[in-house]
Amino acid sequence: MPSRRSALTLLAGAGAALALGAPAAHARPAHARPFGRYGSPSRRLDALTLYVDPLGRGDHTDVQSAVEAASGTGHTLVLAPGTYRGTVLVTAARAELTVIGASGDPRDTVIVHDNAAGTPRPDGSGTLGTSGSATVTVQAAGFTARDVTFANDWLRSDNPEYTGTQAVAIKVQGDRSAFHGCRFLGHQDTLYADSLALTAFARQYYRDCYVEGDVDFVFGRATAVYDRCHFRTLNRTDLAAAPYGFVFAPSTAGANPRGYLVLRSRITGTAPDAYYKLARPWVPSSDLTAHPMLTVRDSHLGAGIDAVTPYGTMSAGFPWQDQRFAEYRNTGPGARVTVPGNRPQLTVSQARAHTPADWLGDWHPHA
């Protein structure tokens, strides 16, 4: 039986292996410069740059203490290779914070914890809930992360008594949040791309990122662009039949004209063919006016996606057909149009309005 920290490695496959709790095989040795080209406490790039190293060669040994020290706006945290276990909260007061994995390879720098929605609160007042399970929560505007892995390694198999099996790797709520070359590892509800309020249309941009999971593992109400990303569906041994899960579960506010945009991306997986749905709409009880939106375009959908019925319905009364789901010019076995009524397609003229520029407006992280 694999340990909690090694199971994600096995499920991810050799091409995406991550040894949680141990340095990557290719990581720099401990005597090398831990912060690479980003300086060090003795050669600080500027007064707003802080260095984090679990071996004690930086200003801080854990990420949360560094975040707390980065009061005000515009700080940069440079993380040396290592595994940082614990939860992290970036409050709204810490705007324009940048977090960088110093090695340039996200497999070297891992922020991870193992809470789930059903985990009891320390004070005995109930359970953490989905939002409370997040390893990292970002409320600040202008947050940027580069070359970092965000993970939640809680496992159903270790906790068969839990009914709340959502386990979020990161919850992102701030406007102008950008992730470049990052990895998001988990099972159910891995990447929570959300906003601070129903009326806050938080813009988020994910470029060259990797996300894995099973149930609704990219979800929330953000205005989010996923550009050249890799989504990987995981196999499951606890279910006997399809579907094993859903890749996307947007909960876009009804007043928001733009939800999730996926482009130039790919979906692969380790489950049997057609055992995953592409998406289902999430209309939460807290917002019954939600009108989920998802566009998937110019992307490769692997055989794991059910090409005949790629969409599902989460809640009675809110069928996927009533939502804003669309595709355009996708390829791969999971993109085959076998039942046209189940694969809503954009026209050429409609597709011109489904671009990063249209989604993000005057913010240009994609430039």
Task: Look up 189 and say whether it is catalytic.
Answer: yes
pLDDT at 32: 75
Burial class (CB in 10 A: 0-12, 13-18, 19+), 192: buried
Q: Which of 108, 114, 214, 216 is catalytic?
A: 216
Q: Which of 189, 194, 214, 306 is catalytic?
A: 189
Q: How many residues does the chain have?
A: 367
Give the integer Cα–Cα distance in Å for 151 and 7. Answer: 12
pTM listed for this prediction: 0.93
pLDDT at 366: 85
Contacts of 45 (CB under 8 A, 6+ apart): 38, 39, 76
The residue ranges of the chain whose pLDDT is under 50 are: 1-19, 21-28
pLDDT at 11: 35
pLDDT at 232: 98
Residue 120 CB: number of other CB atoms within 10 A? 10
Task: Look up 322 and say whether it is catalytic.
Answer: no
pLDDT at 356: 98
Contacts of 205 (CB under 8 A, 6+ apart): 177, 178, 179, 224, 225, 227, 356, 360, 363, 365, 366
Give the integer Cα–Cα distance in Å for 178 and 157. Answer: 33
Pull the structure tokens for residue 344.
């809503």
